[in-house]
Amino acid sequence: MAKDIALVLKQVDDRQEELIALLKTLIRFETPAPPARNTKEAQSYVADYLMSLGFSIDMWDVYPGDPNVVGLLKGTDSDNHKSLIINGHMDVAEVSEDENWEKDPFTPIMRDGVVIGRGAADMKGGLAGALFAIQLLRENEIELPGDLTLQSVIGEEVGEAGTLQACKRNGGAKADFAVVVDTSDLHIQGQGGVITGWITVKSEKTFHDATRRNMIHAGGGLVGASAIEKMTKIIQGLQELERHWAVTKSYPGCPPGANTINPAVIEGGRHAAFVADECRLWITVHYYPNESYEQVSGEIEEHILNVAKGDMWLKDNPPTFEWGGTSMIEDRGEIFPSLEVDPENAGVQMLAGVHETVSGQSAVIDVSPTVTDGGWLGAEGIPTVIYGPGDLKNAHAVNEQVSIDQLIQYTKTLLTFIYEWSHTKKENSQTGSRTN
C-alpha cells in the first residue's frame, strides 16, 4: 500500500469526531419513507458536499421533494483504469408515534461506543463513511486514475427504485464494479429478490345475498360463487407451491425454505347484502439469487391457473395477475431484483483482501437475508456487492444504532478499496476498451 494512503488511513482515526459529526448531520435530516417526499434538503447537502470535492453533479426529482443525486469524479486516466460506483439511499425507515426512543429519532446521540438515531444503521452510516473516505482522499490530493461515481438515491424503503432511475439516466450506468453501502455488518453480500403481486378473482355477474341458497343447494339453478371463498383455493395452491419450492430449490448461504410466498393482504366483497363478486390477494414473493422475478412469477401463474382448471367455477372465471410496481406508496407494488456475487470476481477478491488487511479478520462472503438496491446495479451487468456498517437487528429498530468502531473500520476499508480499485488497469487497457 502506498505510504501516503497509510497516512490518510491514520486520519480516519485522528479525525473520527468529524466522521461522527457527519453521520449525525445526515441523521438530523428527517427522511422517513413513508411518508417520503422529504429528502430534498438532505440530498442538496450531499450534492453540495460532493461538488466541493470536485464532483460534477446530476440532481433530479424522482418524485416531487425526493431527488436523486449522482456525482461523478472523472479519473485522471479513466480510459485505462477501472471505474467504481458507490451507491446508498437517503430515505430511512418510517417512525411510529408510539415508539419508545431514548430521544427524538432524528436527534442523534452518542453513548457506549455507538451512534443512535433513525438511519444510523440503515443506512446513513454507510453514506457518511463513503463521503468521509472520499473527502480524505481529495483533501490529501490523492489522484484516482479511474472514474468514481457516488449515487445517493431515494425510495429504497418503499420500493421506489431511485437506483433504477440512476442506472437508466443518460444512457445507463456503466462501471467495472459497484458497492452498495447498505447494512451488511461488514459482510460482502449478494441477495435474493423480492416481488409483490396482486391475484384477482372476479365474477362477471353480481348477485344479491338472498340468492346464495340457489348457488349452493341442489336444484338451485344458479351457477355462481363467492370470490372470497374461491380465493381460499388460490391461497391453498400458493401454499402447495411454496412447500414444493422449499423441497426442490436451494441456494448456498440461504436458509432452506427462504423462497417464500406470503399472502400479505386480502381485499374482497362490496357489502354484506351481496355475494362477493371480487377478491384481490396481495402477495410478497422471496426468491433465490440465481432466479429472476420473471421466472418465479411465471411459475406462480402456471401453478395457480392449473389449480383453477380443477375447479368448476374458477375454470370459467380464471384468476388474473398483476406483478411488481414502481412504488409501495404510489401503486402498492415493488420489485427488488436478486444479486449473485462471484467470489472469483477481481473486485470481490480485492474488497475481501482489503477488509482482511484493515480488520485483521477474513472477509465473510454470504447472502443477505433482506433486499437492497444492489439487484438493479447487477441487472445493468455491473458486478456488485453489498458492503456496509450496521446490522439488521438494528435496521428499522427503535433506538437504531451503529458501532463507531465498525464505522471507522468500514471507512478505512472503503477508502483503501477506492484507491486500489481506481489504480487497477483495465483488461485490454491499451485499446481503452471497457471490460465489466
As annotated, the active-site residues are 91, 156
Which element (helix H / strand E) includes 51? helix 40-52
Q: Three-class SS of residue 419? A: helix
* Cα 172 versus chain centre, distance: 19
Report yes or no: 287 and 318 within 8 Å, Cβ to Cβ. Answer: no
Amino acid identity, residue 380? E
Q: In degrees, to the nearest 5, what angle opens at C-alpha 254 toward C-alphas 249 and 258?
A: 65
Residue 385's φ and ψ, nearest 5 degrees, are -135, 160
Query: Among 93, 94, 86, 92, which residue's Cα sits nearest to residue 69?
Result: 86
Q: Are 140 and 4 in contact (CB under 8 A)?
A: yes
Single-letter code of the amino acid located at 144? L
- How far is 288 from 252, CA to CA, in rounded Å? 10
Q: How far apart are CA 237 and CA 38, in angstroms?
A: 41
Query: How far is the C-alpha of 38 from the C-alpha of 88, rounded, in Å?
Result: 16
* φ, ψ for residue 369, nearest 5 deg: -80, -5
Q: On the CB side of 281, how many CA atoms lie within 13 Å of its CA?
A: 25
How many helices (H) does the chain have, and how many strands (E)? 11, 20
Helix axes 125-139 and 16-28, enclosed angle (nearest 10): 130
Strands 278-287 and 193-202: antiparallel
d(CA 279, CA 226): 9
- For residue 266, CA distances in Å to 227, 235, 263 come to 11, 10, 8
Residues 164, 57: Cα–Cα separation, whole Å: 18
- Of 334, 314, 315, 312, residue with least CA distance to 323: 334
